[in-house]
Amino acid sequence: MSTDQQPRANNGVFRTKTVEQSIRDTEEPEHALKKSLSAWDLMVFGVGVIIGTGIFVLTGKVAKENAGPATALAFIAAGIVCALAALCYAEFASTVPVAGSAYTFAYASIGELPAWIIGWDLVLEFALGTAVVAVGWSGYVRSLMDNIDWHLPAALEGPDVPGGTFDILAFLLVLVLTVVLVLGMKLSARITALVVAIKVTVVMIVIVAGLFFIVGDNYEPFIPPAVTPEGGGSNWDAPLVQLLFGYEATNFGVMGIFTAASVVFFAFIGFDVVATAAEETKLPQRDMPRGILGSLFICTVLYVAVALVVTGMQHYTELSVSAPLADAFKAAGHPFYAGVISFGAAVGLTTVCLILLLGQTRVFFAMSRDGLLPRFFSKTHPRFKTPYRPTILLGVIIAIVAGFTSINELATLVNIGTLFAFVVVAFGVIVLRRTRPDLPRAFRTPWVPVLPILSIAASLWLMLNLPGETWFRFAVWMVIGIVVYFLYGRRHSRLGQEGQAAKY
Q: What is the DSSP string of 235-252?
A: STTSBHHHHHH-PPP-BS
pLDDT computed for residue 390 by the predictor = 93
pLDDT computed for residue 481 by the predictor = 94
Q: What's the CA gap between 377 and 391, in Å, rounded?
A: 9
Listed residue (374, 425, 349) closest to 56, CA to CA:
349
Q: What's the CA gap between 192 and 257, in Å, rounded?
A: 32
Instruction: Classify residue 217 as exposed, middle or buried by CB count within 10 Å of its CB (0-12, 13-18, 19+).
Output: exposed
- Kindly report the backbone phi and psi dihedral angles of residue 37, in degrees, each rounded to the nearest multiple of 5, phi listed first: -100, 145
Q: What is the largest CA-CA distance in the chain?
A: 78
Instruction: Classify residue 61 as exposed, middle or buried by CB count within 10 Å of its CB (0-12, 13-18, 19+).
Output: buried
Q: In the chain, what is the straight-line distance between the N-terminal and C-terminal CA atoms, in Å?
A: 25
With contact defined as beta carbons under 8 Å apart, do 62 and 75 qualify?
no
- DSSP-assigned letter for residue 157: B
As beta bridge partners, residue 37 has: 281
pLDDT computed for residue 392 by the predictor = 95
Q: What's the CA gap between 496 and 491, in Å, rounded?
A: 7
| Cα-Cα-Cα-Cα dihedral sign, residues 46, 186, 417, 444 | negative
What is the rounded average pLDDT of the residues 51-78? 86
Question: CATH no. for residue 439?
Answer: 1.20.1740.10
Instruction: Report the number of distinct structural domains present in the chain.
Output: 1
Read off the amino acid at residue 2: S
Listed residue (432, 386, 470, 6) closest to 188, CA to CA:
386
pTM of the model as a whole: 0.83
What is the rounded average pLDDT of the residues 85-104? 88
Query: Counting every residue, how long is the chain?
Result: 504
* Cβ contacts of 503 within 8 Å, gap of 6 or more: none
- Residue 450 is assigned to a structural domain of this protein: yes
Kindly list the distances between the CA atom of residue 266 and the CA atoms of 65, 262, 410, in Å, as whole numbers in the listed order: 16, 8, 11
- Residue 491 is assigned to a structural domain of this protein: yes
- Residue 401 is assigned to a structural domain of this protein: yes
- Residue 411 is assigned to a structural domain of this protein: yes
| Cα-Cα-Cα-Cα dihedral sign, residues 490, 491, 494, 499 | positive
* Cβ contacts of 276 within 8 Å, gap of 6 or more: 99, 100, 101, 358, 359, 362, 363
- Residue 174 is assigned to a structural domain of this protein: yes
- Residue 4 is assigned to a structural domain of this protein: no
With contact defined as beta carbons under 8 Å apart, do 336 and 69 qualify?
no
pLDDT band at 7 (very low <50, low <70, confident <90, very high): very low
pLDDT band at 410 (very low <50, low <70, confident <90, very high): low
pLDDT band at 473 (very low <50, low <70, confident <90, very high): confident
What is the rounded average pLDDT of the residues 370-386? 90
pLDDT band at 187 (very low <50, low <70, confident <90, very high): low
Share of the chain above pLDDT 70, in %: 91
How many helices (H) and strands (E) would you count in the chain?
21, 0
Read off the amino acid at residue 210: G
Listed residue (206, 389, 465) closest to 311, CA to CA:
206
pLDDT computed for residue 53 by the predictor = 63
With contact defined as beta carbons under 8 Å apart, do 97 and 1 qualify?
no
Kindly list the distances between the CA atom of residue 64 and the CA atoms of 68, 71, 261, 268, 324, in Å, as whole numbers in the listed order: 6, 9, 14, 20, 10
CB-side neighbour CA atoms (13 Å) of 229: 17
- Residue 30 is assigned to a structural domain of this protein: no
Q: According to DSSP H, which parts of 246-334 are helical?
A: 253-264, 271-275, 284-313, 324-331
Is a pLDDT exceeding 80 seen at residue 411? no
pLDDT tens digit sequence for 209-261: 999 999 999 999 999 998 876 654 456 777 787 777 775 656 889 888 988 88
pLDDT tens digit sequence for 159-186: 777 777 899 999 999 999 999 889 876 6
Provide the domain limits for residue 376: 35-503
- Give the three-class secondary structure for 296: helix
Kindly list the distances between the CA atom of residue 130 and the CA atoms of 196, 365, 482, in Å, as whole numbers in the listed order: 17, 17, 24
Q: What's the CA gap between 109 and 437, in Å, rounded?
A: 12
- Residue 437 is assigned to a structural domain of this protein: yes
Instruction: Classify residue 175 as exposed, middle or buried by CB count within 10 Å of its CB (0-12, 13-18, 19+).
Output: middle
* Cβ contacts of 208 within 8 Å, gap of 6 or more: none
pLDDT band at 454 (very low <50, low <70, confident <90, very high): very high
